[in-house]
Chains A and B, each alone.
Chain A
Amino acid sequence: MPIVSIDADRLNTLLGKTHPTETLSDALEQIGCDVEDVVAIDRYRCPNCAALVEASLGAETVKVCSVCGHTQEESFAKVDAVTVIRLDLLAARPDLFDIGGLARALKGYLGETRGLPRYEVGPAALVVEVEGSTADVRPYIRCAVVRVPPLDDATLATLMKMQENLHWGVGRDRKLASIGVYDLDRVKGPVRYTTLEPDTHPFEPLGMPGRPMTGRQILTEHPKGVAYAHLLAELPRYPALIDADGQVLSMPPIINGDASRVQVGSRNLFIDVTGISDAAAAHSLHMLVSSLIELGGHAFAVEVRQIAGETLVTPDLTPKSTVIELARAKQWLGLPLDADSLTDALERMRVDVRPLDAGRTSFEVTYPRFRGDIRHMVDLFEDLAIGFGYANIVPAQIPSMTVSVARPEEARSEMVRAGLLGLGYTEIMSLPLTTEADHFEKLRLPVPARYPRVANPKLKALTVVRSHLMTGVLQALHENRRRPMPIRLFEMDNVIRLADGGRNGIAEDRNLCFADVGPDAGYAVARATLDAMLRELGLVAKYEAIEHPTFTTGRVARFTTGTAVQGVIGEVHPEVVVGFGLEYPISLVEMTVSPVDF
């Protein structure tokens, strides 16, 4: 999860109060944020783009700009140190990604400003014309203009971070939607959303004034271009925003032009969100504009002239509403609620509540448009519970009686474990994913044409879901080879095998593998243990000599019991012993203890 650092003093400024940092971090936890820690952090200035860059925890220099990617040998200049509350971003709540959104939530939770935040959108301040060629590359665009008090360091840094976090949380790393922000005073409208040939129209990308690059050059040479090249590489033409002077403003979703970049002092922001998901583009825009309004901005509309001719006026910050019922809320939450406490708790969460009937049993709840997480009444019940305060909930007990039932394979496994511990075998556990080399080849087994095989492991060789436990046990013997002999180990766990007609095409068994290594290990030792175990389970085995590549011929048998319990017992082949780095005889039993019925 990305982490965002919130400057405590600045948060207090936005709240218009001076809360102790602890009060702020407690309140953030109470509304559901994951507070990592509260720390002092140094801030540096990027000499290239003038952005404020936070040092990593414990770092004493900053040499890479997190905004423009500028890298240099010596450290940037240190600006100041601030106390920050570090939060893990909540993927489900992009409205809590930034200081503006958090201030909005805390104003309600701490009681200063309750109910719905009202966001006005002023008349259209810009026109964006969408050209037909974008339909096949990146079809959706939504825009806004926001007038802000002259941007200071901190707000600029927040804006950059917000953009980055929304790319992560809503834009699916710029794939679904990506945001561009420009200094409107350096853009001449109307703006065209169009596409360009990869090798024409060079422009100076952000952070590289004086170095014009074509689209293709950016994808192969610019660090951001290389990082996101996969989003455009296959396309014949690349999306671009161009202003009335023919200036390339940006190449979404990769990078903006340097000439129109936002900087300290900018007062008019033009924001575009392009994407392949209209919902994600709209959501990103609402989130960003709402937060900028919280930071003192005023939003103005942009007329987006669609290909088909109609005009879309964005952003649309009209609140949404839904109906909730008091009775359902009480049932769902088990809290002592009435109309007043319900209203009170919800208003703390920055929504408006209006009773729909005289008896105040159902209510219309109006919530901000950016709350894309609300799809059902129960989503507002969660807000209601948070507004009520989790700490105020009195845990209650469920009165109904139910009878416990354990799985049959577990009951049998418990017996087996007790028996083996009594015989001096220690339990090991090993991972159920392994490799063909370890699972088959090292045991002198042919790699089967078909086995339960993983398609896409990050660790390339990790394709085998185990069908026996011998690998883990032999690896454990190897791991303990420097200990005094003998060593006695066992593992008991599920193994899977392909079974056409079985659930999902597989069958599972609870297997047991136990092994002895040492000068006296051998068939007789294993056999004695096995017979004892079977006796304890009330079973009698029949043994039959077999050939098995993992074992020495003449010292290996298959055994059956007339039940699902069956397996193989023998002295491990010397080649296998040596292959696992051991130099004493090993005797081993692999058996099915119980089938697992789903």
Chain B
Amino acid sequence: MPGPILTEAALTVWRALEGGPADVAELVARTGLDQSQITVVANDGEAGGFIEVETRPRDEVDADAAAPIGDALPERRAARLLSKAGGAMAMAEFVAAAQAAGLAINEVFKWGGARGWIKRDKSGVTLLAQDFEAEQPDEAAVRKSLAGQRFLDEQGGDPEPVRKLLASRDDLAKLRKRTQRILRLTDAARAALAAGVEVRRERNQLTSEDFRSGAWRHTTLRPYDVTLAAADVSPAKLHPVRKIIEQTRRAFLELGFEEVVSPTAEVAFWNFDALFQPQDHPARDMQDTFYMADPARAALPAADVVRAVKRAHEDGGDTGSTGWGYTWHEERARPVVLRTHTTAATIQALARHPQPPYKAFCVGWTYRNETLSYKHLPVFHQVDGIVIDEHANLATLLGVLEAFYRKMGFEKVKFKPAFYPYTEPSVDVMVYMESRKRWIEMGGSGIFRPEVTEPLGCKHPVLAWGLGIERLAMMRLGFNDIRELYQGGLEIVEGVPLCR
């Protein structure tokens, strides 16, 4: 039978054990290996019948945090007080004296009683022992532990009183239950050593020297338990809302749309008036819209556009509408607001490019004067798209919406009537959410009213739709509190896998 093949570590341990048994701590000290390496050798050796491992329970005296000892022990100081007073004191007297000395009364009685030094009863407090200055067994144990003898069994003396005294006294020292493992070579191992063993080089990691020198040829990489979990890491990723925004942009770009933008701080004319929103409409209230203090007012577009919009509001102008029947004021169109919707961007794209065919979209922050709650933010993203086309009509609107929402990942889409102020007809888009097993209202859409398009020089029907990005993000990614999205916590990013 060929001899065992040992690792270098095993050979080191075996050699260290040739002189006699030793425990793991001793082997660490003697071999320079670490505890886990010795454990591997012990387990392998035990399995091969070369090492016997004996386990013994032992008490470790952990005195690293020891504070009161010797002159600091409160019960000893109390005993001295009693001794000086002749061995007995009335309770009140004793309490006063002990407190003056800075002693905690309950500790004095607890530990003084446990040591059999101090007794209290109706008559007062009595000193029972005179040898209270002698070193106590637990004090000796603490002293030895601090000197390096941490285990009770190596300190000599009777361990029982120490165990009893330290059992509940954490401030002095902690008794820890340890297991001592003593390794011993079997006869088989000694015989193998005598016959000569083959040594194998074993490493956790190959070095570049190993590769260069060819040492890897006779080196074994320590086997791992390949089923164990590894460290938890997450790749650097895009924010989940960004993912949805990018998906939305891609959908529009794939469908042939031009991406457009408009200023964050927008003149009321483009945010409201151009969309046939009457000047006394509640959405224009300070309650609902952020107005800018600086810049507070801005210029209006070309005079002919302003005039046409004014007429649409007042009596419909040439649009065939009755208008709103009020006097439209230029001044009320000048305030600068934080844009309340991205339609402020698409309507300007329409004004720049009123001829068909044209498709434009805008994604961006929009602002509503709200406080923060789990459902609402004063700032959120919207996306808006428009289609100007000779074939634009309600049927093609539904076709465009179907194509768009498919690209957004919703296979099942249905439509219901809705009522929005600047589209006629208006359509709500419902999408079927597999994850929730129900239809969810996802966005609004419609055909711009002629009062919106005609003053801007557009004579064709214009399809328009929009949706809120955060709502989609919350639905799709399962967040419940919208505020979490923008607080900066990385769990929001890490919690959304790339596949979602």
A-side residues, CB < 8 A to B, are 29-32, 90-93, 172, 279, 331-335, 373, 375-379, 381-382, 385-386, 390-391, 393-407, 410, 417, 420-433, 450-459, 462-463, 465, 472-473, 475-480, 483, 487-489, 494, 496, 498, 503-506, 508, 596, 598
> Is there contact, CB below 8 Å, between A401 and B256?
yes
Complex-state Cα separation, A406 to B242, whole angstroms: 16
Residue B228 at the chain A interface, CB threshold 8 Å = no
Residue of B nearest to A493 (CB): B365
Q: A378-B449, A405-B259, A410-B249 are in contact. Are A400 and B399 (CB under 8 A)?
A: no
> Is there contact, CB below 8 Å, between A396 and B395?
yes
Q: A385-B425, A504-B266 are in contact. Are A431 and B395 (CB under 8 A)?
A: no
Residue of B nearest to A495 (CB): B264
Interfacial chain A residues near B320, Cβ < 8 Å: 376-377
Complex-state Cα separation, A423 to B237, whole angstroms: 11
Interfacial chain A residues near B365, Cβ < 8 Å: 432, 494
Q: A452-B292, A472-B488, A504-B263 are in contact. Are A32 and B395 (CB under 8 A)?
A: no
Residue B290 at the chain A interface, CB threshold 8 Å = yes
The 4 closest A-B pairs by CB, nearest first: A476-B488, A334-B393, A505-B295, A334-B395
Residue of A nearest to B395 (CB): A334
- Other-chain contact of B239, A31, A410, A429, A465 (Cβ < 8 Å): A429
- Other-chain contact of B294, A402, A422, A452 (Cβ < 8 Å): A452
> Is there contact, CB below 8 Å, between B257 and A398?
no
> Is there contact, CB below 8 Å, between B257 and A32?
no
* Chain A proximity mask over B337-377: 1 for CB below 8 Å, otherwise 0: 01000000000000000001111000011010111100001
A–B Cβ pairs within 8 angstroms, 14 of them? A32-B416, A334-B396, A375-B321, A376-B319, A393-B394, A398-B391, A404-B254, A430-B486, A452-B292, A454-B292, A459-B372, A479-B487, A506-B264, A598-B263
Complex-state Cα separation, A396 to B356, whole angstroms: 18
> Is there contact, CB below 8 Å, between A429 and B486?
yes
Given contacts A432-B264, A488-B236, 17 further A-B contacts (CB under 8 A): A92-B421, A376-B320, A379-B424, A394-B395, A396-B393, A396-B399, A398-B387, A398-B392, A402-B257, A410-B259, A429-B241, A453-B294, A454-B291, A457-B290, A465-B264, A503-B298, A506-B263
> Is there contact, CB below 8 Å, between A426 and B236?
yes
> Is there contact, CB below 8 Å, between B265 and A506?
yes
> Is there contact, CB below 8 Å, between B488 and A395?
no
CB distance from A119 to the nearest CB of B (A): 22
Interfacial chain B residues near A498, Cβ < 8 Å: 294-295
* Chain A proximity mask over B242-262: 1 for CB below 8 Å, otherwise 0: 100000010011111111111
> Is there contact, CB below 8 Å, between A378 and B424?
yes
Residue B400 at the chain A interface, CB threshold 8 Å = yes
> Is there contact, CB below 8 Å, between A404 and B255?
yes
> Is there contact, CB below 8 Å, between A382 and B319?
no
> Is there contact, CB below 8 Å, between B237 and A427?
yes
Interfacial chain A residues near B298, Cβ < 8 Å: 503-505
Residue of A nearest to B421 (CB): A92
> Is there contact, CB below 8 Å, between A335 and B263?
no
CB distance from A527 to the nearest CB of B (A): 19
Residue B75 at the chain A interface, CB threshold 8 Å = no
CB distance from A508 to the nearest CB of B (A): 6
Complex-state Cα separation, A426 to B262, whole angstroms: 28
> Is there contact, CB below 8 Å, between B377 and A404?
no
Residue B479 at the chain A interface, CB threshold 8 Å = no
CB distance from A85 to the nearest CB of B (A): 15
> Is there contact, CB below 8 Å, between B485 and A429?
yes
Residue of B nearest to A479 (CB): B488
Residue of A nearest to B243 (CB): A427
Complex-state Cα separation, A242 to B475, whole angstroms: 56
Interfacial chain A residues near B485, Cβ < 8 Å: 429
> Is there contact, CB below 8 Å, between B489 and A479?
yes
CB distance from A367 to the nearest CB of B (A): 13
Complex-state Cα separation, A146 to B293, whole angstroms: 51
- Other-chain contact of B295, A32, A399, A402, A506 (Cβ < 8 Å): A506
Q: A404-B252, A426-B493 are in contact. Are A508 and B263 (CB under 8 A)?
A: yes
Q: A394-B395, A400-B391 are in contact. Are A376 and B450 (CB under 8 A)?
A: yes
- Other-chain contact of A428, B286, B294, B415, B488 (Cβ < 8 Å): B488
Interfacial chain B residues near A402, Cβ < 8 Å: 256-258, 357-359
